[in-house]
Amino acid sequence: MPFAMRRLHAELPQYTGLPHQALDRLYVLQGICRQIIINLKNGLTEDGSEMEMTNENREGWYRMAFLCYLGIYRCFHLVQYCYYGHYGDEDNREIR
């Protein structure tokens, strides 16, 4: 299954009123990305078997892990906005 479909499956619940389910799915996807990156750093393929990998494969997985972090970030902000109605106390915010 393409990574984009996995990410879509993980992020969709946050837009249907189930942000906690989306966070759970995003954290699972992030864990998979982290394990794949560890395998690639150790000179293995994505699934852990021994084979020669290129830097292009590693960079792609770093990007996918970043997209997971971005999805988690967006989900946290959506939860904060939906549950609290704002992102913070704008009236008392100081400009530094």
Decide which of 23 and 43 is more confident: 23
Give residue 38's domain range.
3-92
Closest Cα partner for 19 from 71, 64, 85?
A: 71
Q: Structural domain tally of the chain?
A: 1
Reported pTM: 0.72
Gap between the Cα atoms of 65 and 82, Å rounded: 26
Over 60: is that where the pLDDT of 95 sits? no
What's residue 5's pLDDT? 93
Rounded mean pLDDT, 40-63: 76
Whole-angstrom CA distances from 16 to 13, 66, 81 are: 5, 23, 15
Rounded mean pLDDT, 23-52: 85
Rounded mean pLDDT, 11-23: 88
What's residue 89's pLDDT? 53
What's residue 2's pLDDT? 86
- Give the pLDDT band of residue 86 (cuts 50, 70, 90): low
Chain mean pLDDT for the chain:
80
